[in-house]
Amino acid sequence: MHGGLPWRDGRPPKVKDLSVNLNPLGVPRFVEELLEEALRLKVYTYYPDDYRPLRSVIAEVYDLSPEMVGLFNGASEAISLLQGDYWVPEPNYSEYPRGSIYLAQEERDRFRYPLYGRAVVTSHPNNPTGAPLDEETVVGFLQDGGRLVLDQSFADISPVTSFVRYLTEFPRLLILTSFTKSFSIPGLRIGFTLGSDSLKLERRAPPWRVNGLAYYVFSNADPKEIRSFLNSSREKVRDLLDQVNLSEVKVYRSSAPFLLVETPMNSTSLNSRLKGLGYHVRECWDFVGLRSTHVRVALDQEVNKVLRLIRTLSSEAQGLTV
């Protein structure tokens, strides 16, 4: 589902886990400072208030009115509250509600995602393929009256077009996103929706859905500092993508902080051998439309080293010399 190695004896694993997609810049210092401050103040002994300060900060970051922001315990909670018969293009994130599915167009080194049906939920850029949605496709779908739930959990730190600018023009567009990925804080759950239906969806959620630590950090963060960090992150991801060595293995074109890779080797066997070398990647055999030879690799400074290891291990498994 999310990737990630299980904890052992109550502690996180020591293997470098590249199955989890986070910001390659890591946690910004201002988030760490606010978290340390929250612990000193023991904010975990209080219930959060009515979330208005947090809602206002997020609204300012995205230049929207607070009424267009819905708050949730991660984007996954918002996804779980969606109601309706949605079409989902595959491969895609596994937690979306699926009334019907259809396959994206797989080309030699990329996937293309058309939008079919009257209501679609999909990711942008796509998880697990890293493929962005085409702006003309999205706008045309909305102009034709389609309802679109767009998961932009990685868009803020990816070199892609954000569709936030279309929210006031198209009330049938709802954007899901999360600070979990952008700020590398999967342990601090905070997700939100942007769009006209945000408060309607929020009313289906429990009253205390954002924990006190996450609430304190982001209700006290400077929106300008948040935007600046997101801009820096986007440039970092762009630079890392430009540095990927495409000669090592088959790498699909990506606009996200992760890569979809296909090797001649079964992904489970590959992962087993990678763990012995200190790495773990996401096996993709359980994504509709992908194969047992696909893996997803999070983007970071060591990505080319990991791609070389994948090539070496795959070649050894085939009895070849590199």
In sequence order, what are the beta bridge partners of 123?
Answer: 151
Is cis: bond before 125, omega within 30 of 0? yes
* Average confidence score pLDDT of the chain: 94
Rg (CA), the chain: 20
| CB of 15 closer than 8 Å to CB of 280 | yes
Q: Are strands 147-151 and 173-178 parallel, antiparallel or unpaired?
A: parallel
Instruction: State the helix-helix crossing angle for 267-275 and 303-317, rounded to 10 degrees.
Output: 120
| Domains (range + CATH), the chain | 16-26+230-317 (3.90.1150.10), 29-221 (3.40.640.10)
Whole-model pTM: value is: 0.93
In this structure, how many other beta carbons lie within 10 angstroms of the beta carbon of residue 186? 15
In this structure, how many other beta carbons lie within 10 angstroms of the beta carbon of residue 235? 12
Q: pLDDT tens digits for 97-147?
A: 999 999 999 999 999 999 999 999 999 999 999 999 999 999 999 999 999
Q: pLDDT tens digits for 143-198?
A: 999 999 999 999 999 999 999 999 999 999 999 999 999 999 998 999 999 999 99
